[in-house]
C-alpha cells in the first residue's frame, strides 16, 4: 500500500462522520433558540470537521473523532443500552483509526 493511499476504513468513517454531522446539524437547526441548541450544533459541527479533515489525513482529526464519540459515551451513562452501543462504537472506531494502514495514512500527511 502506498503511504499516501487512503484506507477504506478511514474513508468510510470520515464519510459517516460527515453524514452524521450534516444530518444532525440540519435536524437540530431549529433548536438554536434553546440554550442547549448552540452546544448541540457545535457538537454536530465538530463531527463535520473531524470527517472532513480525516479525509485530508490530519492526525488531529482522528483524535477529534475519538473524542466526539467518547463524549457521546459520557452522555449515555444514564441509559445503559445507549451506553453499551456508544462504547462498542467507540471501541470499533478506535480500532479502525489506529490500525497499521491508518497509522501510515495519517503519518504520511505529517511527513509531507
Per the structure, the complete domain to which residue 106 belongs is given by 8-111
Question: What pLDDT score does 112 carry?
Answer: 62
Q: Answer yes or no: is 58 within a domain.
A: yes
Phi, psi of 65 (to 5 degrees): -60, -40
Taking the C-alpha atoms of residue 43 and residue 61, their distance in angstroms, rounded to an integer, is 14
pTM, 2 dp: 0.88
**Does the pLDDT value for residue 4 go beyond 70?**
no
* Model confidence pLDDT, tens digit, residues 15-46: 999 999 999 989 888 777 787 878 888 999 99
**Does the pLDDT value for residue 97 go beyond 70?**
yes
- Mean pLDDT (the chain) is 91
DSSP 8-state symbol, 58: -
Question: 111: which 3 cell numbers?
Answer: 511527513
Q: Answer yes or no: is 2 within a domain.
A: no
Q: Answer yes or no: is 3 within a domain.
A: no
Report CA-CA distances (Å) from 60 to 37, 50, 76, 82. 26, 8, 24, 27
- Contact by Cβ (8 Å): 92, 109: no
Amino acid at each position: 500500500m502506498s503511504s499516501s493511499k487512503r484506507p477504506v476504513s478511514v474513508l468510510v468513517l470520515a464519510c459517516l462522520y460527515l453524514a452524521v454531522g450534516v444530518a444532525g446539524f440540519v435536524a437540530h437547526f431549529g433548536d438554536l433558540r434553546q440554550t442547549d441548541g448552540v452546544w448541540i450544533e457545535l457538537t454536530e459541527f465538530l463531527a463535520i470537521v473531524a470527517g472532513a479533515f480525516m479525509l485530508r489525513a490530519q492526525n488531529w482529526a482522528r483524535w477529534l473523532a475519538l473524542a466526539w464519540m467518547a463524549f457521546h459515551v459520557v452522555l449515555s451513562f444514564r441509559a445503559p443500552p445507549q451506553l453499551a452501543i456508544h462504547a462498542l462504537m467507540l471501541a470499533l472506531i478506535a480500532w479502525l483509526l489506529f490500525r497499521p494502514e491508518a497509522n501510515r495514512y495519517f503519518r504520511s500527511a505529517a511527513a509531507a
